[in-house]
Amino acid sequence: MTSPNWLPPQPIAEPAAPAPAASPPRQSAFKRLAGPILIVLAALAKVAKGAFIVLKGAKFAGTAATMLVSVAAYAFIWGFPFAAGFVALLAIHEFGHWIQLKREGVDPGRMMFIPFLGAVVATKSLGGSAIAEARVGLAGPVLGSLGALAVAVVGVAVDSDMLRALAFTGFFLNLFNLLPIVPLDGGRAMAAMAPWMWFVGVGMTVALVFIWPNPILILIAILGIFEVYKRWQARKHGAEGNPAYYKVSPKQRLVVGAVYVGLIVLLALGMDLTHIARTFSDV
């Protein structure tokens, strides 16, 4: 007999399993990459801003740009290696002027390269005297000749016709600049020489125009004629503006003349030694 209070055993309920946590919403591939990309872009923007601030006031920024343009222009004719070497020799030549301007107490401006016309260092003064002008004028060919000589030595050492040709071009470039006519370096040097050399320089340039017609030579001849006429008239009428400008001691004239003639001889010899004979069969 069973007790009236007895109940059959009840099954024990198992605890309910926790509900699965909701998975975070899945980001698209674009959103996953956007964050790192934006961080990198922000960092690059800061670097670019700093570089722009630095280059904005740097004189070499314009110089580098004109150098690249000149290399590209010459490369169409000679190929990139020769073009790059030629512009480098131009830079060495102009750097000679730049150094001497500093030595004369003048703050030189930017060095600018002009395709097929050469290069120039902008300046408001050449030193304030004829002897300073001569030193600045000759400093370019002096350093430029050393640069061409270095190329020639390497060209001989490695037996490279390309480097020999580049050295020949460098010697010619510096020798051409020694023509005694403004605005060439020889014209700067002739400020410390006797005035009769000015007329010799004009005559030489005019003769070259007939022997070797060239637009650049024509331009130089025209500019030279005007410059010599202006200088001659100023001296003739005693209207140089600064009579002390052309005051040069005999010793200084001797040094300028010796450097000038010495450069001509050495550069002519360098051209002779690096000249590569060509025939139509080599073309």
Q: What are the DSSP calls for 7-71, one per residue?
A: -PPPPPPPPPPPPPPPPPPPPPHHHHHHHHHHHHHHHHHHHHHHHHHHHHT-HHHHHHHHHHHHH
pTM over 0.85: no
pLDDT of residue 155: 92
Domain coordinates in residue numbering, the chain? 53-179+243-277
Per-position pLDDT tens, the chain of length 283: 444 444 455 454 455 555 555 555 555 554 554 555 556 455 545 544 544 444 444 466 677 888 888 899 999 988 999 999 999 999 999 999 999 999 988 888 888 888 888 888 878 777 778 899 999 999 999 999 999 999 999 999 999 999 999 999 999 999 889 888 777 898 888 878 877 777 877 787 788 778 767 666 677 778 778 878 877 777 776 655 566 777 888 889 889 888 988 898 888 889 888 988 765 445 4
pLDDT of residue 55: 43
Residue type, 226: F
State both tokens at 179.
Answer: 């023509």
Integer Cα distance of 137 and 72 in angstroms = 28
Integer Cα distance of 274 and 268 in angstroms = 10
